[in-house]
Amino acid sequence: MKKLFSEIPRICGGDIELRRLCSGDADALRELTKSEEVYRYLPTFLFEKKYDDAKDAIARMYDECLKESLILGIFSDGEFCGLAEFYGYRAPLLKISIGYRLLPRFWGKGIATRALGLMTGRLFCDTNVKIITASVIPENKASAAVLEKNGFRLAAHSVPENWGHALPTKADKWIRTASGYRRGYSFHPDKNT
């Protein structure tokens, strides 16, 4: 991610702020990582679940994790709601993937929609990224709606992916391209896109 962001960004808009996590966010992160309801729709290998202690995960997050991804806390009116993640940056393709996860008590309030809008806005305005992708399991209709509200389109349905479960996970692949960007891009189920 260091190739994409020269420093860890703080992204704000209205009541939503995306920012670096600090040790004071450990209790809220612990609550998120312990929620089976949240992680039933997510891969098993997400960084925040790598360490049993949330303070340890935060302490390591911006060293270990920063090569592969950038994780920011999502805050609404200063309260921790969940995580936003930028990952899989492919410089030659001008492509990156995004993800987000919220505590259940913040579902249905438009927070994910606004946070994703801030993420895509930052990527298209302040970086050279032209393609943003996201993977969502078909059962997660709420996340698909968040993507649609932010201009993403369904590009491939039920593509088998390795999410760390015993069997491949069927995921819908979503894509959004920068305004005016016409270069073709397609998903390849046999490759990690």
Cα–Cα dist 3/114, whole Å: 25
CB 158 within 8 Å of CB 172:
yes
Task: Determine phi and psi for 79, rounding to 5 degrees.
Answer: -100, 130
Burial class (CB in 10 A: 0-12, 13-18, 19+), 116: buried
pLDDT value, residue 186: 56
Domain coordinates of the chain in residue numbers?
A: 11-177
Residue 183 is predicted with a pLDDT of 60
Check: CB of residue 119 under 8 Å from CB of residue 11.
yes
Q: CA angle at residue 120 from 43 to 77, to 5 degrees?
A: 85
**pLDDT at residue 68, as a whole number:** 83
Could you list the mean pLDDT of each consecutive 10-residue stretch along the chain, which spans 193 residues? Answer: 86 97 96 93 89 92 85 97 96 95 97 98 95 96 97 96 91 93 59 48
Closest CA to 94 of 131, 67, 125, 135: 131
Per-residue pLDDT, 193: 47
The span from the CA of 174 to the CA of 45, in Å, is 21
Q: How far apart are CA 146 and CA 142, in angstroms?
A: 6
The pLDDT of residue 22 is 96
Closest CA to 107 of 138, 73, 139, 76: 76
Per-residue model confidence (pLDDT) at position 78: 96
Q: Which residue has the tokens 């935060």?
A: 58
CATH superfamily of 11-177: Gcn5-related N-acetyltransferase (GNAT) (3.40.630.30)
Q: 76-114 burial string, b = 16+ CB within 10 Å, else e?
A: beeebbbbbbbbbbeeeebbbbbbbbbbeebeeeebbbb
